[in-house]
Structure 1
């Protein structure tokens, strides 16, 4: 026997507990439908967020390589900070927020920290950009950075002992 489903009717008034969204009357859809659909949406959102993060991380790496190469080829008297600030202004004018000089300064360091694109490919799928950004400022040996890989980003940013004593922090 098929479960009975009410025909669509006009939705009731807005429900403040749902951010003002309209709520269907009881029996509008089978009760299990929401329980089945919500995990599908959540899974796609998570996959898409991971894909966006991986894509942005790769973009920042390529930008870092280009900035580094350009600064190496440029005149020795070129002020690198001014060159990056000028690029940031141009990118911001063209693309909007997100291209500050501070953000662009992270990119060459990121490319220097992970010079091999194969390694980049592995870490960009596992770690978020904020986590990677925290890792690139650990000045110890590359092997020590691997110890930090599983620490939360906030620990890396806010715990001075995590930077000073890598073994003790892990």
Structure 2
């Protein structure tokens, strides 16, 4: 695709570039929404597993300590996305 294939109408280039930028921005937005939805599902699944496996579906004060310990281990390997607040 060379120079000759660029739109030939006098004012087509600015419109064409604007349309491409809009497509890129929409794509980025869709990716962000998908990633956010996936992260919410991941954190919910982690909380569910903690509740089922460790807390045995009961509230426990030591649950805070478990979350803190798990957060420290996950943060070390995966980064700050696994803070106590997120888990």
The answer to whether TM tops 0.5 is: yes
Q: 1:78 Cα shift?
A: 7.6
Give yes or no for contact 2:43–2:86 (8 Å, CA) kept in 1: no
Alignment of 1:131-142 (within 5 A): none
For 2:65 and 2:25, locate their aligned partners in 1 and report how far apart those are by CA, in whole Å: 43
Equivalenced residue count is: 76
Structure 1: tracts of 5 or more residues without a match: 5-28, 105-170
Rounded to whole Å, the distance in 1 between the matches of 2:68 and 2:29 is 34
**Structure 2 counterpart of 1:35, from 1, 18, 30:** 18
Contact 2:67 2:84 in 1 (8 A): yes
In the alignment, the residues of structure 2 paired with residue 99 and residue 3 of structure 1 have an alpha-carbon distance, to the nearest angstrom, of 52
What's the secondary structure of 1:103's corresponding residue? coil
Extract unaligned runs of 5+ from structure 2.
1-6
Match of 2:8 in 1: 3
**Aligned twin of 1:15:** none
Q: Distance in 1 between matches of 2:85 and 2:69?
A: 12
Tell me, yes or no, if the aligned pair for 2:55 and 2:63 is still in contact at 8 Å: no
Q: Aligned Cα RMSD in Å?
A: 2.3
Q: 1:96 aligns with which of 68, 76, 79?
A: 79
